[in-house]
Chain A
Amino acid sequence: MLHLRSGLLLAAMSLSLAGCDSYPDISDSERNQPDPSEASNDTFFGADNITEERPVLATLSSDNTIDHYKFTIFQDYNGPLTVTLSGITGDADIELYDFNLNLVSWSRTADTSEEVIELWHDAAYNSGSYDNGLYFIRVYTRDAGLISDYTLEWDFDQGNAE
């Protein structure tokens, strides 16, 4: 009797295992694509575009302690990239992220000093078809009571490009 019950249990487990899939089911449909247009720039997903020619003038405040921006280097060159945060009246910092949203560099100077990030842009690195040369910037403060205007700009020095 014990053998019969064990056999039935094993058979039931085998049937269960044969019909299961350990990985999530993925639909072929790409409908309902995420739409960033209605999101705020509090997240990477809602990051605002910033161009090299036009710096951003914005404000951090007690109910807005973090902003996100994105820019794209379209040229197929390597070269020095500089991101600058200036005009701040409190301790605000900046971080630079790649197209995978991994932190690649940062400037976290104390007080109201200008924050500057300098790094070498390698065009071959960010060579995906849709996100070629895409970077994200996070401007933030850990001082929840801070109210500060800021100016954010970036520069890709094509003149020194290789």
Chain B
Amino acid sequence: MKIQSLSLASALSSAVALSSAFVFSSAANAYEDHRNMKFTSYTFKHSTWTEDQYVGDLKEVVNFADAVAHAVEFRTPENAKFKLNVGAAVRSDANGDTELESLLGAVEAGGVFIRMETSSAPGYIAPEEGSIFDNKYVAGERGFTAKYLQVNIGKSLDHWPAARWGLGYIHVQQPGTLNMYTTSSDGGYSGMPNYPDAIIDPEYQHDLLGIWLDVDNLQAAMHDGDGFMLAMNRKGGFRYGWGLTMDMIFGALKSHSSQDLDKIVKDNYGLDLEYNDPFGIGWSITYRLEFITAYRMPSSNFGLSFGLEGRAFQGFYSEDFFGTSLSVDDGSEAALQLGPGDNMVFQYGPFVRLAWEM
């Protein structure tokens, strides 16, 4: 009896397995292999460089024109020996100016994936009130170019084609505050330039190098792949649900000024400078929280997603953990230290993305 039960169970499980295989086979045959398809997408979004999205100690004096961006991306079929991924975004600001905001380029050959994304926007340092800077000195021109460059080198995960990992590098250029320390408590000497509380470098630089991981949920949803925090519902050829697309880098952070700070402090105030380029650990997360709808057809797939996208870049310097070796020993010296809020990028904004594979 026990043997019979086992046999029956085996027979049932075999039948289920066979029917599952048949259903899977039928489903697989119902759609053309997405790896033979070209992928194209269009995204309408808030520009990544606007006043609202700029955070940091200089928020009150950093100005960008409000803008929207139109981004287009194209990917060659995944089955191609040489895979190409190109994209560009055009920025239209509130002043009516249109300019190229970002460029995206990626190639994949021999299983190795190389991707580069760059964006930039013009900005302007303006005083808080009228034309007056309150104890801040702006080094160089007040007009500046904010820049973001990301380079990734890696490969797709074997069992998770929508995900990739490898090495990531980010270069950020944006205004930074360098707090100034001197022994003179009242800010200087008679007939001499005032010692500012801070020197503003409009184009302070940050470099992050580390481990990189990313996943594209919309493309995963369009061909029933596995995404990252992707919960899709299926109704016939229709797919819908929430997903969180992420691009993460964690690694070493090094920052430095675009200005000759020693010369500035000596020429302006006659002081000898103590300053060390800060370094530490940093991370970057580019996220896209989106509601995804996708429709699968036998020889093409369509996707539409909308939600909130943004980027968080942040770090901690060794001085925050282990203290600083800087000291101001007498009236002939000054020390500069990067403001704690100025090694961060927080960009966010709504977007709508339309994609198709065929």
Contacts and interface: CB of A to CB of B under 8 A. Distances in A.
B133 A32 contact: no
Contacts of A43: 266-268
Interface of B: 131-133, 135-138, 142, 181-184, 186-194, 196, 266-271, 274, 319-324, 326-332, 335, 337
A44 interface: yes
Contacts of A33: 189, 331-332
3 tightest CB-CB pairs across the interface, nearest first? A20-B323, A34-B270, A43-B267
Contact of B331 (A31, A72, A125, A134): A31
Nearest to B181: A24
Given A43-B266, A43-B268, 11 more contacts: A22-B324, A26-B182, A26-B328, A31-B331, A45-B267, A49-B191, A100-B196, A125-B132, A130-B191, A134-B191, A134-B194
B12 to A, nearest CB: 47
Nearest to A97: B193
A72 B272 CA distance: 26
A30 B331 contact: yes
7 contacts: A32-B332, A35-B270, A43-B267, A45-B266, A101-B196, A131-B191, A131-B192
A44 B268 contact: yes
A101 B268 contact: yes
A49 B266 CA distance: 19
Given A16-B321, A34-B331, A43-B268, A128 B131 contact: no
A102 interface: yes
Nearest to B271: A34
A132 to B, nearest CB: 10
Nearest to B138: A102
A162 interface: no
A21 B325 CA distance: 9
A6 interface: no
Interface string A35-67: 110010011110001000000000000000000
A24 B193 contact: no
A136 interface: yes
Contact of A31 (B270, B323, B326, B330): B330
Nearest to A72: B191
B199 to A, nearest CB: 10
Contacts, number: 127
Contact of B327 (A27, A70, A99, A134): A27
Contacts of B142: 103
Nearest to B125: A102
B337 A17 contact: no
A64 to B, nearest CB: 15
A151 to B, nearest CB: 23
A110 interface: no
A80 to B, nearest CB: 15
A29 interface: yes
Nearest to B321: A17
Nearest to A19: B323
Given A34-B331, A102-B137, A45 B270 contact: yes
Interface residues of A, number: 43
B186 A129 contact: yes
A31 B327 CA distance: 15
Given A24-B335, A34-B269, A125-B132, A29 B329 contact: yes
A104 interface: yes
Contacts of A26: 181-183, 327-328
Contacts of B188: 130-131
A36 B270 contact: yes
Contacts of B271: 34
Nearest to A45: B270
Interface string A83-113: 0000000000000001111111000000000
B301 to A, nearest CB: 48
Contacts of A20: 321-323
Contacts of B190: 130-131
B248 to A, nearest CB: 25
B194 A100 contact: yes
A29 B193 contact: no
A54 B192 CA distance: 21
A23 B327 CA distance: 9
B330 A29 contact: yes
A43 B269 CA distance: 9
A42 B268 CA distance: 10
B212 to A, nearest CB: 27
Given A21-B323, A23-B337, A24-B337, A44 B189 contact: no
Contacts of B320: 22
Contacts of B135: 100
Given A21-B324, A44-B267, A130-B186, A99 B194 contact: yes
B133 A30 contact: no
